[in-house]
Amino acid sequence: MDLPVMPPVKPMLAKPAPSIPDRKLYEPKWDGFRSIVFRDGDDVEIGSRNERPMTRYFPEVVEAVTANFPPRAVIDGEIVVADRERNRLDFEALQQRVHPAASRVRLLAEQTPASFVAFDLLALGSEDLTGRPFAERRARLEEALAGAAPPVYVTPITADTGTAKRWFDRFEGAGLDGLIAKDPEGTYQPDKRVLTKVKHERTADCVVAGYRVHKSGPDAVGSLLLGLHDERGVLVSVGVVGAFAMARRRELMAELQPLVTDFDDHPWAWAKQLEGERTPRKSETSRWNAGKDLSFVPLRPERVVEVRYDYMEGNRFRHTTQFVRWRPDRDPASCGYDQLERPVNFDLAEVLAGRA
């Protein structure tokens, strides 16, 4: 592709903040694949945050870019997939779109089509806009995509903190996970954390049901496996907590040994097949870390830990949780989904259409 300018490949990043800052421009924080899209005539390339080419996985996005973008442009945005029945974002379905087989890619493009939500214009025609203030780039983006049709959208934006707070509270019900605050005068700074992200933060008391060994060796805990009881009283695997100092990882290994049990006496007996296997099967490895063994050491579900999380994806924590404290006062049987705050449903179509 012979673009007239060479805009940055790596996107501008955000650093977390505990509250919504004043005097910024605010956008919803989309839960998808961050992508910078390059179009030069019939040539379209989709780059990801880690510079991994994404073009082949989203043929329907390529078609939409050709139909809706200006002839020569570079636009920063997010690829998302919507759950059509629940009318909310579906990150799990988006992850499944990254598949090595071309036939599978074509099938998923029909079954779970993706959309592109634009939020910054980096180049237009022969003009590099990365040195211009964000407020100007945003205005130019709206002009450039004024006639765009689904599945290409321009993200909503507001300068009003009251509106931003309402978005923060309501949009989670559509699968979004917070706000992004931008300096109206800020230039585009690739790979720099100059934006601000505000995400939901909650705590939950979870049962510790097992651990994985740290990559450094067998004397340290890598992560603790967390469980919550559903309405039937069944302990469900909901995620992990793993950010510990190395000294604490070794202490945990010693502390947890009295709780080690056999899979036959564990609520997750289904994991027995992983025990002792040197090479996990494809279904037992991480989608993003090929070959990573997800087997674990089972523990009697007797210890309770309080963790911090942002939100749920289905019945699991969307991201790795953060350790808060041990809860020796809690009965493991009382750790259920009923303690979790559930966001009120909100219509994703209203957000995409900018009518919220």
Over residues 283-333, the pLDDT tens digits come to 333 433 444 445 899 999 999 999 999 888 888 998 889 999 999 989 999
Considering the chain, tell me which residue range(s) the CATH 3.30.470.30 domain(s) occupy: 13-200
pLDDT at 290: 40
Q: Which residues are catalytic?
A: 29
Instruction: Assign 87 a pLDDT band (cuts: 50, 70, 90).
Output: confident
pLDDT at 274: 56
CATH fold label, 13-200: D-amino Acid Aminotransferase; Chain A, domain 1 (3.30.470)
pLDDT at 294: 56
CATH superfamily membership of 202-339: Nucleic acid-binding proteins (2.40.50.140)
**What is the arithmetic mean of pLDDT over 232-243?**
94
C-alpha–C-alpha distance, residues 214 and 169, integer Å? 37
Considering the chain, tell me which residue range(s) the CATH 2.40.50.140 domain(s) occupy: 202-339
pLDDT at 28: 96
Residue 105 has pLDDT above 90, yes or no: yes
pLDDT at 343: 75
Widest CA span in the chain: 67
- Which token pair is 298? 């089972």
pLDDT at 342: 74
pLDDT at 5: 44
pLDDT, tens digit, for every residue of 186-212? 999 999 999 999 988 889 999 999 999
Query: Who wins on pLDDT, 70 or 172?
Result: 70
C-alpha–C-alpha distance, residues 290 and 293, integer Å? 9
**What is the arithmetic mean of pLDDT over 92-98?**
91
